[in-house]
Structure 1
């Protein structure tokens, strides 16, 4: 296979951020190449987020990649909070002027983007690990990678790191060029996929003395469910029966309420942390998605922040290569970080309000219930949650 030796934008990582950026650049007529270290099958089966904000869906539609999404995704107009023996539904359209979210797994977004890119371009190479990136402070970057058993070199105007927090592109930034703000949360999520119908037509966020639980879904026949567990928990310590019993206790809406059970097809423990890298650009190297920031999953922001980053970045590149103006590219980091920090704030709020921290007192628990009661009884507090959950503006 003949691989290009130069392109305008080299994108490292074929997750949703890298693939969506490539699609948006392609539609603007901007040359790019995507390099992914893993094979296609691995990339298409990575289990991640399943909630798409209004703005993310709007972007996918504008990118002409939402055909299957519009046929198969499940629109949700709210979430249900369960706490202190109560149930309260937060109605998104009423509180936000019509905004909603969609349940559509990240795996499906990635499959749609890959299929379209392989059909229409630009170049996408799997099994192409990047070893080094050089030239951040020069007028041209160089990407060193391996593909089909050969070491190769790709020069480019810019490199965009969409390869995650531990990716090669982050490590290519000069020492001292960025600052990382981090927090590790004192609990994890045990997540399962089960061949069982969803608990409820929308997501349930449950606060209890036993810990947090979340009932979500992948389809009308497959449920995605989570339990708060201690850090370092072994999934093997949770046989199927124990998981279902604990979900019944934490999600229960009455003494006779029970989940409809089914075979569990996947089980894993997800550690939770928050991280923001500032700035998200140094010279000709830019970061997007998880390479720039990580949020705890309770706010459903990870994939949506990535989509927001690359939407801003694609517009900035279109300005640079279209009119010759680099103003939007210079502002890329500041523009994105305003939204990133608001998403971090909201995700931290959802996390601290719903989870039971180790060593928490009865006073702490009552404060959490008071906060949830405030949402249930105040239209202003409910609207604040709804606007954040369905997605804040990009700028």
Structure 2
């Protein structure tokens, strides 16, 4: 009888052996982004969060461009042409540092650049994508409005014809990168349906006042976009799409990154909880030696690595051209919800220290409250799945 093969040792950092599913190139991307975040973000982000700012954002964008993290899953025009799994791994590592950094990359690549890459003219692509891929031009994505978030079809921003030009009027709200962007992709109603416009932010009538007094995503630039008679030439419109299919397909691409990113925040909190539980002593022993703490850690590990496995599965489907929007909703709904629960449980293990910025737990927890809402609330993703499961539309 042949001897049983020797099993590899149990790895607490990878209890399911998910790394076995990754290629050498995947691991290289992950390690590159992790090293950059450890050097350029982690040592400073608590201070940025406390101060409510993201200093040197343009410098950070250029550094992210240099490692190929901007528009990394797009091909050509200076983009890295990475796989969906590699892009997901990058999102996980960036959000393990902070959700605001991952949001910077997601909005740049999966929303603004993706819209231009998929729906733009060749002239628009050549003008903007190489600069955006390098981080020399930051982009933003204007869809959400002050009174219309989950119902973008009711947007009030309007673009009307004036001769051969377009004139845009309206407001967009909660726009990441808005105040520092060189270009905005703005969606507006027209006589012929919803259209996307590539708007240089130095166009007269365009302004982007920064939103202050946030208690979430504080290390991130969030703005309102104000469009007062913004006059654009005819070639500013994205020619490749009319209707909500355009912005919604961009959102689906960005939501995919969130599926991975949320697990990065969860991993950071879980690792902090494990380290704390094995060093913090109460009643003469580390609190990690008590059954209730071990139960919490076990449950956190199960949900964390299930979430990473789900993200990996969706990434392989995206790389195979088989990922449906409903499946992205599945991932976003599950992973963000579970990430928040992991952060909250980690906070209980740290006790009072859990609210201190000396540890990343409360920062991740508050950031995830925004991630839970943007690019589709819990309720909207539940209804997407409900319709897919029953065939009945409950949105109205």
Q: TM over 0.5, yes or no? A: no
Give the number of the structure with larger relative contact order, counting CA–CA contacts within 8 Å between residues 6 or more apart: 1
Query: TM-score, with normalisation over the residues of structure 1?
Result: 0.27
Normalized per residue, the structure richer in strand is 1
- TM-score scaled by length of structure 2: 0.26
Greater percentage in helix:
2
